[in-house]
Amino acid sequence: MPTNESPASDDLRHARTFLFVPGHRPERFAKAAAAGADVVVVDLEDAVAPAQKAEARENARAWLAEGHRAVVRLNAPGTSWYEADLAAVGPHAAGVLVPKAEDPATLAAVAAALPAGSGVVPLLETAAGIANAIALCACPSVVRPAFGSVDLAAQLGVDHRSHEALRYARSTVVLAAAVAGRGAPVDGVTTALANEGALTTDLDHAVLLGFTGKLCIHPRQVEPSNRRFSPTDREVEWARGVLAADRDGSVAVYDGQMIDRPVVRRAQAILARR
């Protein structure tokens, strides 16, 4: 299936960290941009009270219009704010995060409102979104999906901190992205801000399942997440060795391991994440 290969969407495809900053707090925008995250997400949805939605929208529009680069999380399709959000920030954003994504037609409409090269990241955080994950990821505008653990857990009546309760849903998103030929997905937030162990455990679980990025809600989560989603020196050395052994495309051996096409693709993917 086709992928969006513009420089902007390519950045989104490989981003390790997406740091949220509330749209009604413009004094924090520059601090978020300097926090080391691969992507800043100006949030118009969950972080903003209804009475502040219009103010947050204008803050985001003005900051982007000045030339700053960010993704914007819109309010969900079907809300009274969604269309105004898209009209205001769509022409300026490097991409948009679409919450409660469930309908491919909605993602197509979002893409039509964005400038060429901007990407769409659907946030799969409802039962319907998980059930429609392949169709949503297959939309031409989609760069990669993100997983919304907190909202989905609330709908299912389970603890959003439970890896076991959400393992099937997470794996479904990973498989859907692969089926559609999109970038590997971005994992949901870790709400325990003062518990570094919880973040580490969440990151290890995400990597285990095939996620390559993290939604962050505090700057202190950025550096550990960037580090965990980057290949280690040992992985880089192994990948380079595999590619060096694969001189003519035939089956080879490196470090006692048979090297064939799937192993070569894994090595290439590791080096692409550097």
Along the 274 residues of the chain, how does pLDDT read in single tens digits?
A: 344 455 567 889 999 999 999 999 999 999 999 999 999 999 999 999 999 999 999 999 999 999 999 999 999 999 999 999 999 999 999 999 999 999 999 999 999 999 888 899 999 999 999 999 999 999 989 999 999 999 999 999 999 999 999 999 999 999 999 999 999 999 999 999 989 999 999 999 999 999 999 999 999 999 999 999 998 888 888 889 888 888 776 778 888 888 888 888 888 888 887 7
Q: Partners of 214 in the beta sheet?
A: 17, 187
Please give the single-letter amino acid code of residue 158. Answer: V
* Among the listed residues 108, 10, 109, 95, the one whose alpha carbon sits nearest the alpha carbon of residue 60: 95
CA distances from 224 to 74, 150, 221 (A): 27, 21, 6
The rounded distance, in Å, linking the Cα atoms of 203 and 225 is 7
In this structure, what token pair is assigned to residue 232? Answer: 């280690």
Instruction: Report which of 42, 5, 1 is spatially closest to residue 143, judged by C-alpha positions.
Output: 5
| pLDDT at residue number 6 | 56
- The Cα–Cα gap between 259 and 245 comes to 8
Q: Which of 177, 161, 167, 239 is nearest to 208 (CA)?
A: 167
What is the Cα–Cα distance from 150 to 171, expressed in whole angstroms? Answer: 16
The rounded distance, in Å, linking the Cα atoms of 249 and 234 is: 23
Q: Which residues contact 152 (CB under 8 A, 6 or more apart)?
A: 124, 125, 126, 127, 129, 130, 160, 166, 169
Tell me the pTM.
Answer: 0.91
pLDDT of residue 8: 65
Q: In the prediction, which pLDDT does 4 show?
A: 46
Tokens of residue 127, six digits: 């039962």
